[in-house]
């Protein structure tokens, strides 16, 4: 499935504790879908994204756009001890977010 279907947004797929595959946008984790296969989760996510865009358009609101990665995203590698890494990974999974999105959200909340 082409990334263009998701308008440039990054997608994370993982197997949840119930054995279902969950796909969601990294930048907007509340837009998500699940299925019993990774491919099915992506198909369902494409349907959900189409519905979200239609809702924005119906209400005359701008459809969210994926961030321009070349201008705004900078990779930050931060070494952490294994215990902290496990705790962050666990909390990210419970929040149904990628580790990257979870840590980014935590960092942003400390700056607000």
The chain-wide mean pLDDT, for the chain, equals 85
Assigned fold of 1-67: Double Stranded RNA Binding Domain (3.30.160)
Which tokens hold the place of 74?
């900078």
Cβ partners under 8 Å of residue 80, min gap 6:
88
Is it the case that residue 3 has pLDDT exceeding 60?
Answer: no
- Sheet of 21-25: strand order equals 11-15, 21-25, 32-35
24's enclosing H/E stretch is strand 21-25
- Model-level pTM greater than 0.85? no
The pLDDT confidence band at residue 79, using thresholds 50, 70 and 90, is confident
Domain parsing of the chain, residue ranges: 1-67, 74-112
- For the stretch 48-67, pLDDT in tens is 999 999 999 999 999 988 87
DSSP 57-111: HHTT-PPP----HHHH---------HHHHHHHHHHHHHTT--HHHHHHHHHHHHH
């Amino acid at each position: 499935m082409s990334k263009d279907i998701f308008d440039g947004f990054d997608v994370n797929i993982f197997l949840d504790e119930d054995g279902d595959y969950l796909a969601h946008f990294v930048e907007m984790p509340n837009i998500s879908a699940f299925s019993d296969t990774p491919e099915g989760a992506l198909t369902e996510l494409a349907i959900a994204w189409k519905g979200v865009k239609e809702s924005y358009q119906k209400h005359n609101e701008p459809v969210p756009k994926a961030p321009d990665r070349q201008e705004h995203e900078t990779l930050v590698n931060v070494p952490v001890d294994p215990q902290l890494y496990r705790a962050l990974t666990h909390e990210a999974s419970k929040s149904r977010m990628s580790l990257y999105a979870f840590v980014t959200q935590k960092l942003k909340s400390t700056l607000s």
